[in-house]
Amino acid sequence: MQQIMSQIRAAVDSYQLIESGDRIAVGISGGKDSLVLLCALANMRRFLPMKYDLVAVTVDPCFDNVQTDFSQVEELCRRLQIKYEIRRSQLGNIIFEERKESNPCSLCARMRRGILHDMSKKHNCNKLALGHHFDDAVQTFFMNLFYGGKIGCFSPMSYLSRKDLYLIRPMVFCEESKIKSAAQRYRLPVVKSECPVDGHTCRQSTQELIKNLEKQFPDLRRKVMGALQRAEIDGWGKQITIE
C-alpha cells in the first residue's frame, strides 16, 4: 500500500487533484480498484498537508433484480470512519432486459456515473474520486483509437460545469498488478461483479492485445502514458471542463 500511496501522492501533486477543504466522494463499485483507492485516501489523511473529508458512494445495478451484498464494504467503511451510502437501481434491468444493449458497458458506465454525480452532490461533495488506474488509461487510449477512430483518453481531473463537480482519478500512476497485490495483501472485501458480460468486454480484449504487443514492444504501456502526458492529450497536463 505504501507504493500505491506514493503514486497517488505523485498524481495529486502533478495535477492538483486534492486541496484543503475538499469533500470527496469515492465511487465504490466493490472491485479491487475502488477499495484500494478508498483505503489509500483514508490513510493519506494522516500525512497529506491538505485536509479533506471522504464519503463513499455505491450504485448497485441489481443485475437479475438481485441486490448485491455490500455488507463487508459497509464494515470496512465503519472501520475507516467513512460515511457510506448504497443506492439500489434498475440499471441491470434497463440495460439487459428492456433495451437489450449490444454494447452495454458504455451505457451502463454513463448511467452509473450520472447517479454517482447526484449522490456526490447530495453529500455536499465538490469532488468525485474514481478508481481508474494506469492500465485503464492505456487501454482507453487504444480503445478510442481502434473502436472510435480518435486520439483520446480520460483526464486525471475534469470539471462538470452542469453539476459544479470535479472528477478526479488519483490512481492514474498506479499499475493494476500493484493494486491487485495490495487488495490481496490487506484482504480487502472485494465484491464479485454479477454483470452478465464481465470478463467478455472490449476492454478485456484490448488488455489482452496490449499484453501481446508488449512482447514485441517492451514498455509499451509506459511509452503510451508518456505520450499522453507530453502531448497533453485530453487534459493530461491541465484541467478540462465538460459541459
Q: How far is CA 2 from CA 44, 62, 182, in A?
A: 10, 34, 9
d(CA 240, CA 160): 9
Q: What is the pLDDT of residue 242?
A: 56
pLDDT band at residue 102 using 50, 70 and 90 as cut-offs: low
CATH number at residue 14: 3.40.50.620
Stretch 99-114: mean pLDDT, rounded?
Answer: 77
Pairwise pLDDT comparison (102 vs 84), residue with the higher score: 84
Tens digits of residue pLDDT in 19-76:
999 999 999 999 999 999 999 999 999 999 999 999 999 999 888 888 999 999 999 9
Tens digits of residue pLDDT in 134-152:
999 999 999 999 988 999 9
Q: Which amino acid is at 95?
A: I
d(CA 55, CA 80): 11
The boundaries of the domain holding residue 96 are: 2-242
d(CA 196, CA 92): 9
Q: What is the pLDDT of residue 92?
A: 77
Q: Are 152 and 234 in contact (CB under 8 A)?
A: yes
Q: What is the pLDDT of residue 236?
A: 84
Q: How many domains does the chain have?
A: 1
Mean of pLDDT over the chain: 91
Beta bridge partners of 45: none
Which of 84, 77, 79, 24 lies closest to 60 in space, CA to CA?
Answer: 84
